[in-house]
Amino acid sequence: MIIYIFFIFLIAFVFYGFIPGVGAFLIRAQWHNFRRRLTSASFLPIATNTTIKTKKTKFIGTFRLFGTLEAIQGNNRVWIAGQDFSVAADLAKISIYLLSSFPSEFKATNESQEEYGFPDEQPAYIPWNKIFSLPSGIQIFISGCLFIEEGRYLFKSQPNNPLLVVIYDGNKELLLERSIWSARQKNEYLNQFTPISLVCGSLSLLLIAFLLSRLIDFSKNILSQLSYYVPAVLSLTLFLFPIIYLIPPGVILYFLYRRFWKQARFLRAERDLLRLPLRYLSDLSGLEKDEYSAELPDGEEYVMLRRSKNAEQYDPIFRLHIPQRGCSLQKNVTGEKDYYFFGTPGQTGLLNKPHDPMGELIAIPGNPFKLAEACQKKSIKVGVLSAIFIFFGLLINLILIFLFLFWFLIYLLPGY
């Protein structure tokens, strides 16, 4: 009996836990890599006739480009219209990201990021060879190695530096924020490996239950056949694992799990957005000074200014109506009455929107370091809590179904 039970649990672990778990780590790593690559691309110069300096070698440098699709040439080459010139891109053996549709008339307001209305769906991730057509004029962001071949500029992947291509709509100034916000899986357990793994696991356990049931002689005493009864019922119970969370009473804990898992995902997105304007600044030391300065890729100065909320009535920077990036945990971080403004210096004490589309003019009420840290800590707590809810919800249902099926086999099957 012990061998049967061990084998049944091993199958359940492999198909219900290990394989979907590996997929979960891969899908989380994929979206983390996408956010990291897009953030890193914001440090690259934008490809224009001014920034590109033709060299004797074919390789010019690493650039990014905001443009629109002009045409598709052959199977793998596209032509993109940039700010003041056109460039080709070789998309062979790469996948592109497609952001969820977004209203082009959207404008940020002095509300928290939660209320911006960013789409909550993660971007589509599609291999180029599975895309058969794209409308001309669609907006494209691309970053990677730029070459000159036959007198024409060409973006092309390199072994250690594949092209990053994002198709989007709406305002290009919000591309990075939208990607940071939405490029994360809603539920990592539900990935490309999960459906086939669950089906294989369920069918395997059903087959084991059937084979064990054939060994049971219902005319004999149950105590003499526990070595078959228990594994058969256990296998049949675990066969129902893919739908077992929908059965009362565990379904109540399932809805609690979904609520807290969604909250953890939301807090991680808030954490990343709070850290976003800090990426240009170095040696911040916890934002102890009132002003920090850095240089954007185009050479424009980028600063952070700290202002006390007590100065709101007479400091002109508060009258600029700069969009604010709020935080759901703002009230939980005590002792933070300062505002942190990010942008390029304008008139005395004022800020402007950077020319770089990925540079932000933003105000954060409270220390973004501390707010991001609070989001990180709480996201871990609610993530663990959600895992506890789903674990006990499944465990309760599994025990109840096991007891019911065991009773059913003993008392209700004909011939006992």
Amino acid identity at 284: L
Q: How far, in Å, CA of 335 to CA of 346, rounded?
A: 30
pLDDT bin (cut points 50, 70, 90) of residue 1 is confident
Q: Are strands 338-345 and 291-295 parallel, antiparallel or unpaired?
A: unpaired
Give the model's pLDDT for residue 132: 80
Give the model's pLDDT for residue 292: 87
Is 267 among the domain residues? no
Give the model's pLDDT for residue 296: 94
Greater confidence (34 vs 218) lies with 34
User: Among the three residues 182, 200, 222, which one is the final residue of a domain in this structure?
Assistant: 182
Q: Are strands 351-352 and 338-345 parallel, antiparallel or unpaired?
A: antiparallel
Percent of the chain with pLDDT over 70: 89
Q: How far, in Å, CA of 268 to CA of 266, rounded?
A: 5
Structure tokens at 313: 């009535």
Is 337 among the domain residues? yes
- Judgement on whether residues 318 and 363 belong to the same structural domain of the protein: yes
How crowded is residue 216: how many other Cβ atoms within 10 Å of its Cβ?
17
Give the model's pLDDT for residue 113: 43
Is 10 among the domain residues? yes
Range with the poorest average pLDDT among 131-135, 158-162, 236-240: 131-135
- Judgement on whether residues 255 and 336 belong to the same structural domain of the protein: no
- Judgement on whether residues 60 and 134 belong to the same structural domain of the protein: yes
- Judgement on whether residues 49 and 173 belong to the same structural domain of the protein: yes
Amino acid identity at 143: S
Strands, E assignment, 180-335: 291-295, 301-308
Q: How far, in Å, CA of 372 to CA of 393, rounded?
A: 31
User: What confidence tens digit (pLDDT) does each residue in 360-415 have?
Assistant: 999 999 889 889 999 999 999 999 999 999 999 999 999 999 999 888 777 765 44
pLDDT bin (cut points 50, 70, 90) of residue 319 is confident
**Which residues touch 271 (CB under 8 Å, ≥6 apart)?**
372, 375, 376, 379
143 forms beta bridges with 64, 164
Q: How far, in Å, CA of 75 to CA of 322, rounded?
A: 45
Give the model's pLDDT for residue 321: 83
Percent of the chain with pLDDT over 90: 59
**To the nearest whole number, what is the mean pLDDT of the chain?**
87
DSSP secondary structure letters along 303-355: EEEEEEGGGTTT-GGGGS-PPB---TTGGGSTT--EEEEEEEE-STT-EE--S
Greater confidence (200 vs 332) lies with 200
Of all helices (H) and strands (E), which one includes residue 369? helix 368-411
3-class secondary structure, 96: strand
- Judgement on whether residues 231 and 308 belong to the same structural domain of the protein: no
- Judgement on whether residues 102 and 128 belong to the same structural domain of the protein: yes
Say how many domains are in the chain: 3
- Judgement on whether residues 176 and 53 belong to the same structural domain of the protein: yes
Give the model's pLDDT for residue 219: 63
Per-residue pLDDT at 139 exceeds 60: yes
pLDDT bin (cut points 50, 70, 90) of residue 284 is low
Per-residue pLDDT at 110 exceeds 50: no
Give the model's pLDDT for residue 109: 44
Q: What is the CATH number of the domain that holds 162?
A: 2.40.50
Per-residue pLDDT, averaged over 104-126, amounts to 61
Per-residue pLDDT at 145 exceeds 50: yes
Do residues 185 and 31 make contact, with C-beta atoms less than 8 angstroms apart? Answer: yes
User: Among the three residues 129, 154, 182, which one is the final residue of a domain in this structure?
Assistant: 182
Q: For the purposes of burial, counting CB atoms within 10 Å of the CB of 224, is it exposed (0-12), middle (13-18) or buried (19 or more)?
A: exposed
- Judgement on whether residues 357 and 398 belong to the same structural domain of the protein: no
3-class secondary structure, 169: coil
- Judgement on whether residues 248 and 385 belong to the same structural domain of the protein: yes
pLDDT bin (cut points 50, 70, 90) of residue 53 is confident
Structure tokens at 199: 């089906």
SS3 helix, strand, coil % of the chain, rounded to 5? 45, 20, 35
Is 290 among the domain residues? yes
How crowded is residue 256: how many other Cβ atoms within 10 Å of its Cβ?
17
Is 64 among the domain residues? yes
Is 77 among the domain residues? yes
User: Among the three residues 182, 214, 244, which one is the final residue of a domain in this structure?
Assistant: 182
Is 238 among the domain residues? yes
C-alpha pair distances (Å), 213 with each of 201, 206, 405: 18, 10, 13
- Judgement on whether residues 118 and 242 belong to the same structural domain of the protein: no
Per-residue pLDDT, averaged over 189-197, amounts to 93
Q: How far, in Å, CA of 341 to CA of 333, rounded?
A: 18
Give the model's pLDDT for residue 382: 96
Is 90 among the domain residues? yes
Q: Which domain holds residue 249?
A: 2-35+187-262+380-411
- Judgement on whether residues 94 and 242 belong to the same structural domain of the protein: no
Range with the poorest average pLDDT among 47-61, 133-147, 149-163: 47-61
- Judgement on whether residues 286 and 404 belong to the same structural domain of the protein: no
Greater confidence (350 vs 311) lies with 350
Give the model's pLDDT for residue 255: 95
